[in-house]
Amino acid sequence: MKSSSIRVSTFERVPAFAYGLVRDLRVRWALEEAGIAYAEWLVGTEERKSQTYRRVQPFGQVPTYQDEGLELFESGAIVLHVAERCEALMPADAKGRARTQMWMFAALNTMELPIQNLFTLDIAHAEEEWAKARRPALVDEVKLRLTSLSDWLSGRSYLEDRFTAGDLLMTTVLRFLRHTDLLAQMPVIESYRLRCEARPAFQRAVAAQMAVYERNADRAA
């Protein structure tokens, strides 16, 4: 890997349901695809509330990205920053770059919003009566988005003619449905997700994230 001064923040501990879902995974994956080394900034419960951390991430979330005076937050913005400097994640030609950016926005806006709503409802509110009443409509909304995505991917290996940062973000969004059988009902999308997750860079990224959680699992919160 290229040497680097990059530092990426990640939570020390998260609940088991969030393993492999926390959004620093997106940045780790992008950096792995780019062949760029990075250091981890492990953020605990108290540190994320501190003024020091809030000066970098005003909302106390992860990831953040620091590199020689540049400080960024929001996973999509960070992945875009990395992709713009890495042809493995974004083509060099103007049309290819524009379409990659289009799919990045589609993943984070069109797809992630309804999927995240369903995930939050199922994980945090599943036993509440209002959630039980709301869930069928949310599932229908997610299915509508998935069907459109499946139609686009039919006959394609990736969203465009090769893997890009759009696929990276789309795959991490789809992973929020792993507690459901919705992807199993969409074999085109499930094959796409598995194809992207089989990439060595993804495997390294998720292993690095899991290693942090495993090291700190027994520590007091």
For the segment 101-157, what is each residue's pLDDT rounded down to a tens digit? 999 999 999 999 999 999 999 999 999 999 999 999 999 999 999 999 999 999 999
- Give CA–CA dist 175/1, Å, rounded: 27
**Pick from 85, 61, 55: nearest CA to 75:** 61
DSSP-derived secondary structure letter, 17: G
Gap between the Cα atoms of 165 and 53, Å rounded: 27
Q: Would you state the pLDDT for residue 59?
A: 97
The whole-number average pLDDT for the span 54-70 is 97
pLDDT(221) > 70: no
Q: What is the Cα gyration radius of the chain?
A: 18
Question: Does 220 score more than 60 pLDDT?
Answer: no
pLDDT value of position 98: 98
- Taking the CA atoms of residue 6, residue 206, residue 191 and residue 160 in that order, the dihedral angle to the nearest 10 degrees is 0
Look at residue 218 in the predicted model and tell me its pLDDT: 75
Whether 9 and 72 have beta carbons less than 8 Å apart is answered as: no
**Could you give all domains of the chain from N- to C-terminal order, each with its CATH number?**
7-88+201-216 (3.40.30.10), 94-199 (1.20.1050.10)
Neighbours of 210 (CB within 10 A): 13
Read off the pLDDT of residues 9-41 as tens digits, 9 standing for 90 and up: 999 999 999 999 999 999 999 999 999 999 999
The pLDDT value given to residue 1: 66
Reading the block at residue 106, the tokens are 């589609």
Are the C-beta atoms of 147 and 189 separated by less than 8 Å? Answer: no
Express each pLDDT in 151-189 by its tens digit.
Answer: 999 999 999 999 999 999 999 999 999 999 999 999 999
Rounded CA gap, 166 and 105, in Å? 8
On average, the pLDDT of the chain sits at 96
Express each pLDDT in 86-97 by its tens digit.
999 999 999 999
Is the dihedral angle over the CA atoms 92, 94, 96, 99 positive or is it negative?
A: positive
Name the band, by pLDDT with cuts 50, 70 and 90, for residue 4: confident
Burial class (CB in 10 A: 0-12, 13-18, 19+), 104: buried
First to last CA, the chain: 34
* Rounded (10°) CA dihedral 44, 45, 50, 56: 60
Measured CA distances, 202 to 81, 137, 157, 172, 173 (Å): 18, 32, 17, 10, 14
